[in-house]
Chain A
Amino acid sequence: MRLKRKDILGLEEITADEIELILQTAISFKEILGRQIKKVPTLRGRSIVTLFYEPSTRTRTSFEVAAKIMSADVSSIAPSTSSVVKGESLKDTILTLRSMKPDVFIMRHSASGAPHFVAGLIPESVINAGDGMHEHPTQGLLDMMTIYEKKERFSGLTVALVGDILHSRVARSNMWGLTKLGAKVRLVGPKTLIPPGANRLPVEVYTNVEEGIKGADVVNVLRIQLERMKKGLFPSIREYSRLYGITRERLKLAKDDVIVMHPGPMNRGVEIMPDVADSDISMITTQVTNGVAVRMALLYLLMGGTEDALAA
């Protein structure tokens, strides 16, 4: 099976079959990361541009590592040091970079829909590495891979996403991906951070964290950003932590074999307690490793690969 699409912009529009293909490919690619020589020639001669309009360490590095393991050439553009500071439009930046003949653009932008705009401009593939409050599909996929490795299924699982749902592209991608494969998704957070219309999404909404994580198989904790406090969305870090922080005590309400995830970067002691983050139910470092595998799989599939990746 091949991935028959040009771009990966979000999990809303991707089918369950496509998600399964990506995850199966990623699981088989993960083996490469355990090798002493972490290099395969699969994408030799292919050229990839990363364009991050927002600061990012893990996602950008993860894409670069994934591309390099696959032997692709990577150019990383940081708009703060580029002609963007001279006022160049996104369209012109893309058309300029495109003229250097890359095969794939990987893009992060603070404006929701920016990668959709770019994808509509050019015939090359665009991977959304996070757009505003919209989606972060590779994070959604790596979260799903992590869940699948531990639980070996999605259907029947209950996944609680806890925190700032309103501004979270991670929550949106998780929600679409997980519900497509049969998991139940709960959105948990203060009402000020639950997006309008959430009750019409295919999820359950909780404002009480105890109720929200009760019986959950997976608790995925989202980063709380300090600037939200300044906008009057919650009163203080202290109160947020008291009402929504994920503690060992609270996790007793979840399933006995619950796993805890966090897309990072963490505010230890705020949304997640250090003893939880460092415990053996925490998947946080596994998520990072799986992120490389998922991105290897996506680059490979977008450039025409099939699911029998390693047989080749």
Chain B
Amino acid sequence: MRLLLKGGRVIDPSQDLDKVADLLIEGGRIAEIGDIDAKPGQVEDVSGKVVLPGLIDMHVHFREPGFEYKEDITTGSRAAAAGGFTAVATMPNTNPVTDARSVLEFILRRAQEVNLVKIHPIGALTKELKGEEMAEIGDMIEGGAVAFSDDAFPIQNSGLVRRVMDYCAMFDVPVILHCEDMSLSDEGLMNEGLTATILGLNGIPAEAEEIAVARNIMLARLAGCRMHVAHASTRGSVELIRRAKEAGLRITCETCPQYFSLTEEAVRGYDTNAKVNPPLRTADDVAAIKEGLADGTIDVIATDHAPHAIEEKETEFAAAASGMVGLETAVGLVVTELVKPGILSLAEAFEKMSAAPARILGSAAADGTLQVGKAADVTVIDPAAEFVVDPSKFHSRSKNTPLAGRRLTGMPVLTVFNGRIVARAGEVIA
């Protein structure tokens, strides 16, 4: 089985490659990059397009097992493939919680059945995400867990955070932390400030995130573990992480497209699709996130793809579920908000969605590279294609996004998973 991607601009940040070339895939592996004779086999003309390592989203919620009415591994995988992703890491807030090897193995088996995208389950740090007792981290690593997190159920007890960090340091697996001091976020529904005051919604101050970031940096230093800050959303968080990196700590950080594309103003009119956690912040925070992306403080762009059913969003703002889907708008937002304005080059932007998450999750997870001999996970994007976000066309089971109707530039046009074309121009074809 030969597949030739002909005439594209091949950008592979992992090997500082950026040139117009042909890319040949043979036997599910990258066989050659260069000037390659077309025959024999399948040829795709990708001239004018950009050929990238398969994109990796290290923060998604696929909801299976337990919440299949929101999303399942099939629909989530289809959304990922359509959005240009060849690998994802799934958060453990399933039911039962992904806090044991058996659940992890179930997810891996389902991923293999669906076979559209590589799925790396993230194990829970604590049993049932309760923040009380440590989960069987060692057993889950043997079962294939690549990282650990309690995500949106952040451990409040500093002593316990220290112990799980110590324990994870022993295996050298990353601890992914949603940073939130819940005594400060309290009953908050959106970013604290003038807009929240006008709307009469309880606010969540930036400090609720920043205090937890600061605490977790200190504890990671104490434990000597690899810590990854999930979805940084504030200027203060970026500054704290920048300083921690300058001090040489093994700390990495992600943000999500919503935190560089939207502000708290999106909540006006009580749009429950703009209710996310951490909340959408101010224009100044958005500027700081972009600075952090540009100077490398923020390593990774992940989506925090958080599907919710219509009835969970079509309700009072206070009662609505938190989160938005992101897999099928990520490439467009990255190109529109970061590449077009010149904040990041294509190579810099997509490094944060390929080589960087691969480096953090470890080589067992995803390659994030187009090196010859590696598994042929390849994403081709058209950086000039324009489209209007239409949630009814999403492959995700859920449609919760505040971006409906937004005009974006930059579309995935071909997703190659293990040498096989799984999506073309937003349509899943496998």
Listed in ascending order, the chain A residues whose CB lies under 8 Å from chain B are 12, 89-91, 109-114, 116-117, 131-135, 169, 172, 195-198, 200-201
Q: Nearest chain-A residue to B318 (Cβ)?
A: A111
Most buried by B among A89, A113, A201: A113
B314 within 8 A of A: yes
A131 contacts B315, CB within 8 Å? no
Assembled-state Cα–Cα distance A104/B67 (Å): 38
| B110-129 vs A, Cβ < 8 Å mask (1 yes, 0 no) | 00000000000000000000
Residues of B within 8 Å of A131, CB to CB, are: 200
Interface residues of B in 161-199 (CB under 8 A from A): 192-199
At the interface, yes or no: B316 with Cβ under 8 Å from chain A?
yes
B203 within 8 A of A: yes
Query: Do the beta carbons of B196 and A197 come within 8 Å of each other?
Result: yes
**Is B311's CB within 8 Å of the partner chain A?**
yes
Cα distance A267–B192 in the bound complex, in angstroms? 30
Given A12-B198, A169-B200: A90 touches B315 (CB 8 Å cut-off):
yes
Residues of A within 8 A of B269 (CB): 116
User: How many Å from the CB of A74 to the closest CB on chain B?
Assistant: 24
- With both beta carbons as reference points, the residue of chain A lying nearest to B186 in the complex is identified as A231
Task: List 6 tightest A-B contacts by C-beta distance, closest first.
Answer: A134-B200, A197-B194, A113-B270, A133-B200, A112-B200, A111-B316
Contact B314 A91 (CB under 8 A): yes
Interface residues of B in 292-317 (CB under 8 A from A): 311, 314-317
B314-357 contact mask (Cβ, 8 Å, vs A): 1 or 0: 11111100000000000000000000000000000000000000
20 extra interface residue pairs, beta carbon distance < 8 Å, beyond A90-B315, A201-B198: A12-B198, A109-B316, A110-B318, A111-B319, A112-B201, A113-B317, A114-B317, A117-B314, A117-B315, A117-B317, A131-B200, A133-B201, A134-B200, A169-B200, A172-B200, A195-B197, A196-B192, A196-B193, A196-B197, A197-B197
Contact A132 B200 (CB under 8 A): yes
* Minimum Cβ distance to chain A for residue B115 (Å): 38
**Is the pair A89, B203 in contact by a Cβ cutoff of 8 Å?**
no
Residues in chain B near residue A133, CB distance under 8 A: 200-202
CB-based contact B314/A135 at 8 Å: no
| Number of A-B residue pairs at CB separation under 8 A | 69
Min Cβ gap B271→A in Å is: 9
- CB-defined contacts of A109 to chain B, threshold 8 Å: 316
Sample (17) of A-B pairs whose CB atoms are under 8 Å apart = A89-B311, A109-B316, A111-B316, A111-B317, A112-B317, A112-B318, A113-B199, A113-B317, A117-B314, A117-B315, A131-B200, A132-B200, A132-B201, A132-B318, A133-B200, A169-B200, A196-B196
A112 & B199 in contact (Cβ 8 Å cutoff): yes
Q: Do A91 and B315 touch (CB < 8 A)? A: yes
Q: Residues on B close to A: CB < 8 A?
A: 192-203, 205, 269-270, 311, 314-319
- CA A43 to CA B211, docked complex, whole Å: 58
Q: Which of A89, A112, A197 contacts B315 (CB 8 A)?
A: A89
Give which listed residue, A117, A135, A197, A201, contacts B200 with CB less than 8 A. A135
Q: How far is the CA of A172 from the CA of B194 in the complex (A)?
A: 12
Complex: how many Å from CA A133 to CA B69? 33
The interface residues of chain B lying within 8 Å CB-to-CB of A12 are 198
Contact of A117 among B197, B199, B311, B316 (CB under 8 A): B316
Closest to A112 in B: B200
Question: How far, in whole Å, are A132 and B201 apart by their CA atoms in the complex?
Answer: 8
In Å, the complex CA distance between A109 and B200 comes to 12
Q: Report the Cα distance A198→B195, complex, angstroms.
A: 10
Question: Once the chains are docked, how many angstroms separate the CA of A200 from the CA of B197?
Answer: 10
Chain B residue nearest in CB terms to A169: B200
Chain A's nearest CB lies how many Å from the CB of B258?
20
Closest to A92 in B: B311
Q: How far is the CA of A116 from the CA of B205 in the complex (A)?
A: 25
Residues of B within 8 A of A196 (CB): 192-194, 196-197, 203, 205
CA distance A291 to B253 in the complex (A): 55
A109 to chain B: closest residue by CB: B316
Interface pair A112/B193, CB less than 8 Å apart = no
